[in-house]
Amino acid sequence: MKEFAELIKTLDGTNKTNRKVDALTAYFKEVSDKDKVWTIALLSHRRPPRPVNTTLMRSWAAEWATIPYWLFEESYHIVGDLAETIALIVPTTTNNSTKALSSYLEEIIALKPRTEEEKKAYLIENWKQMDYYQRFVFNKLITGGFRIGVSQKLMTRALSRATGVDEDILAYRLMGNWDPSSVSFKQLVEEENEADFLSKPYPFFLAYALEGPLEKLGNPNEWYVEHKWDGIRAQLIVRKRNIFIWSRGEELVTDKYPELHQLADLLPDGTVLDGELLPFPNGQIGSFNEMQTRIGRKKVSKALMKKIPVIIKAYDLLEWEGKDIRQLGYRKRREHLEAVLKPLLENSTLPIAVSPALQFNSWDEVAQEREKSRELRSEGLMLKRANSPYEVGRKKGNWWKWKVDPLTIDAVLTYAMRGHGRRSNLFTDYTFALWDTNAEGKRELVTFAKAYSGLTDAEFRKIDSWIKKNTVDRFGPVRQVTPHHVFEIAFEGIAWSKRHKSGVATRFPRMRRWRQDKPIDEANTLDDLKQLIPMSGDSTTNGNN
């Protein structure tokens, strides 16, 4: 633990990538194999299930620090991170724990079934024995979410340096489902393991947003164009008649989509597809809003599955006849993909489709195709070089995404909350409203979206100080402010929604511009927003209006 806390402290103390990689490499060379495995797990977002309810943790920390609970809560809102707040607030010690990181994790795993009293005693006992950084790390192990400015990519690079194993091979070995409490470092990092291989996905190839004019990409004939579907990126694996579905976040989501399980018997053995999981109500692509009703559920009811069935729209083939074909060119992989899926596509009731790979003679035609995106319910286009291999991670050059311009509307700032992480202690999370006419015929502001990104740090600072001076009411961490500022809000998609007070849900709303030139009277109305909803709408909730 001491070494791990030191590592986190060092990583915390620099913005330089090289220094981070050096520190990680040195750490991987120094610590025990068991600690290495756990470190890899934690830095790739694999953590033990949370053993303690965080509300209890908060009250115990307040009690141990002998401060009232409300004061703990206020501090938490300002610090913006629970593990950090607790580490700061409980009584200071300079004690140093010598117990290994892996031992702590074993204890934390064993803690889950214990009684509340035992959990409380365990936490307080440990808070007593650790210095600030150890307490912080310990709390993070319990509350989860190790976001410390070290990406998985960076961690893999350091591990590669420490072990001499190639970075791409490591990225592949570290994917999928492995249990840090049972796997050994050797098995995880150094050995090819047949049994693990069955469910193992490939690292996803990710695209950057297009930079510069299309013409720079060269001859359009050397490129394929696909629509960029707005669902969940996924790999579907069929090996030895087993099916596995992995989301891009490396989460195994097979159980969430039972309608796809039949593909285990229909796709040839040794097939790995890359594609998009999409909601498909009434035989057409639905909105992301509808997809969300499926993402959250582990157990899917028959009714929901009937109302919002999910399909996979495949666009790439990574494994064919049991062989890794990622090094083949895109055109060749697509040929294999279409051949593999051909027999399945003859049956239109199966939950699988191919995303068409289009070719154009001019970039103008490509641009025209992009204009069709909203109508087709895509987010824009993907451009893929015909002879490109399937690479590892986010790379420039062979794949580009070219999204449609977002929809925009001018809305009024009505509420604000403090941000988290690097924006803790600043009011950066805002609620926006549009004008509407209520039942009595009066004009009022109706909340329609929350947004917390898109402004510069300098703008955030200005608005933060304005908010502090123009608060009219407080509801816990939320401040109601005088309606005064208008912002242009950009968003990717829009659909009817029963869950939103405004009746409308927007996808990925963010601030595009601070309209200091606009008085609030000139902000848009809710009706203006509704005009932006595609006519086809969501069949499930249409007619609400």
CA distance 537 to 495: 6
Segment interacting with other proteins, rule: CB under 8 A, options 69-77, 109-117, 222-230, 487-495 = 69-77
Nearer to other proteins, 9 or 513 (CB): 9
Q: Does 71 bind other proteins (CB under 8 A)?
A: yes
The residue within the footprint of other proteins, chosen from 464, 513, 525, 530 (CB under 8 A), is 464
Q: Which residues contact 232 (CB under 8 A, 6 or more apart)?
A: 247, 248, 253, 276, 277, 291, 295
Q: Does 14 bind other proteins (CB under 8 A)?
A: yes
Q: Does 476 bind other proteins (CB under 8 A)?
A: no
Pick from 195, 165, 155: nearest CA to 36: 155
Nearer to other proteins, 136 or 178 (CB): 136
Return the number of other C-beta atoms located less than 10 Å from residue 241's C-beta: 9
Segment interacting with other proteins, rule: CB under 8 A, options 85-93, 158-166, 333-341, 360-368 = 85-93
**Taking phi first (over 0 means left), then psi (-120 to 50 degrees means alpha), and beta for anything else, what does residue 214 get?**
alpha
Query: Hey, which residues between 219 and 278 contact other proteins (CB under 8 A)?
Result: none
Helix, strand, or coil here: 372? coil
Using CB under 8 A, count the residues that bind other proteins: 36
**Least distance CB 469 / other proteins (angstroms):** 10
Q: What are the Cα distances from residue 526, in Å, to 46, 414, 433, 499, 508? A: 42, 15, 8, 16, 18
Q: Does 424 bind other proteins (CB under 8 A)?
A: yes
Segment interacting with other proteins, rule: CB under 8 A, options 284-292, 358-366, 421-429, 438-446 = 421-429
Q: Does 423 bind other proteins (CB under 8 A)?
A: yes
**Least distance CB 151 / other proteins (angstroms):** 15
The residue within the footprint of other proteins, chosen from 44, 85, 102, 373 (CB under 8 A), is 85
Tokens encoding 409: 């509307």
CA distance 127 to 136: 9
CA distance 404 to 381: 8
Q: Does 283 bind other proteins (CB under 8 A)?
A: no
Angle formed at CA 273 by CA 248 and CA 159, multiple of 5 degrees: 45
CA distance 421 to 81: 7
Helices (H) and strands (E) counted in the chain, each on its own, are 21, 19
Q: Does 149 bind other proteins (CB under 8 A)?
A: yes
Q: Which residues of 511-535 are buried (b: 16+ CB within 10 A; e: fewer)?
A: bbbbbeebebeebbebeebeebbee
Q: Does 480 bind other proteins (CB under 8 A)?
A: no
Q: Does 473 bind other proteins (CB under 8 A)?
A: no
Q: Does 456 bind other proteins (CB under 8 A)?
A: no
**Least distance CB 46 / other proteins (angstroms):** 22
Chain residues binding other proteins by CB under 8 A are 12-16, 65, 67-68, 70-72, 74-75, 78-81, 84-85, 88-89, 92, 149, 419-426, 457, 461, 464-465, 468
